[in-house]
């Protein structure tokens, strides 16, 4: 993982959050009558920051996220979410005169996230930013090969910025931009590992209770 990549991505996320925090006037903030609990389901596209990860799998991963937000005050909320990802890739051996051999790969991750955020209703719009920690369990399998599956977990950080458009008092369309930093401990593995950090854009629906 190139630290400059993560630094730029984190800086971008921080900039978005800072803009939201500073630019939205207080008068536009939430009416007190909104429900405290919201559940959203989003699907999106994540770009892994590590080039070798993209080379092995794909430039775009497709995670699905289920998130629950609980409003603590007029401005702040806590959230818990689960993100699920399964991606196919391949390892290629090209050693002439033997024919090229390809071994399929499957990477699956389940990430549990917790954090806090701030939101700013603005008419039918709600802008928000959040940050927190993630615990990601991963499993990578080689298809048709006697290679043991690699499993493990990693603790990381996430930063989000997003917008919500209220279609009705209880239903909204939601879009998010997220940076997730998922470092891996290289000393635990046979080889130095890449990390699973990425930047994603996602969209979905949100229901308030």
Partner 1 sequence: MAGLGSSRLRLFAAIAAVLIILGPVAPRTSEISLLKINRRQPVTVPASALGQMAVVQELAECWLVEAPPPLAARLLAAGVSLEVLDDSTAGRVYHLLFAATSEQIALADPLGRVVHLEPGVGLLSSARELSRAELPADVAVKRLSGTVAAPLSFQVPGRGTAIPRPTADARLQPYDPRIGQMIAAVSQGMLSDGIRDLEAFQTRYASTSNCEAAGTSIHSYFSRLGLATESDYFTFTANNYATSNIIATIPGQVEPDRTVIVCAHYDSTSTQPATNAPGADDNASGTASVMEMARILAGYQFDYTVKFIAFSAEEWGLYGSRHYAQAARQRGEQIIGVVNLDMIGYPDFRPEELDVIVDGQSAWLGEKYVASANAYAPLPIIQSTNPSARGSDHSPFWDAGYSALLGIEDSPVRNPYYHKTTDTFGTLDMAFATAVTRASLAAVAELAQPVSLTPPPTGVAAHSLTARSIFTSRKTTVITWDAGDRNIVGYNVYRSLASHGAYQRVNSSLVKQTYYVDRLLLPDVPYYYVVTAVDLQGRESNYSVEVS
Binding site for partner 1 (CB under 8 A): 3-4, 6-7, 10-11, 13-15, 17-19, 21-23, 52-53, 56, 89, 91-98, 101, 103, 105, 107, 138, 140, 142, 145-148, 150, 152, 186-194, 196
For partner 1, the closer of residues 193 and 202 by Cβ is: 193
For partner 1, the closer of residues 96 and 123 by Cβ is: 96
CB of 12 to partner 1, least distance (A): 9
For partner 1, the closer of residues 105 and 163 by Cβ is: 105
Distances (CA, A) of 18 to 21, 142, 159, 161, 193: 5, 43, 12, 10, 33
Supply 196's token pair: 């699973």
The Cα 187–Cα 84 span in angstroms is: 26
Q: How many Å from the N-terminal Cα to the C-terminal Cα in the chain?
A: 41
For partner 1, the closer of residues 9 and 38 by Cβ is: 9
Dihedral-angle region of residue 144 (phi above 0 means left; psi in -120 to 50 means alpha; beta otherwise): left
């Amino acid at each position: 993982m190139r630290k400059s990549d993560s630094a730029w991505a984190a800086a971008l996320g921080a900039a978005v959050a800072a803009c939201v925090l500073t630019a939205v006037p207080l008068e536009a903030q939430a009416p007190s009558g909104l429900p405290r609990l919201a559940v959203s389901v989003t699907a999106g596209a994540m770009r892994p920051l590590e080039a070798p990860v993209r080379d092995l799998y794909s430039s775009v991963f497709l995670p699905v996220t289920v998130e629950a937000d609980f409003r603590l005050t007029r401005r702040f909320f806590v959230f818990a979410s689960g993100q699920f990802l399964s991606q196919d890739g391949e390892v290629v051996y090209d050693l002439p005169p033997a024919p090229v051999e390809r071994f399929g790969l499957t990477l699956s991750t389940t990430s549990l996230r917790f954090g806090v955020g701030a939101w700013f209703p603005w008419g039918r719009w709600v802008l928000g930013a959040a940050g927190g920690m993630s615990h990601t369990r991963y499993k990578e399998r080689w298809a048709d090969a006697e290679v043991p599956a690699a499993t493990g977990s990693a603790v990381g950080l996430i930063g989000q910025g997003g917008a919500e458009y209220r279609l009705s008092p209880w239903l909204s369309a939601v879009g998010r931009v997220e940076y997730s930093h998922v470092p891996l401990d290289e000393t635990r593995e046979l080889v130095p590992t890449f990390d699973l950090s990425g930047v994603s854009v996602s969209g979905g629906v949100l229901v308030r209770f």
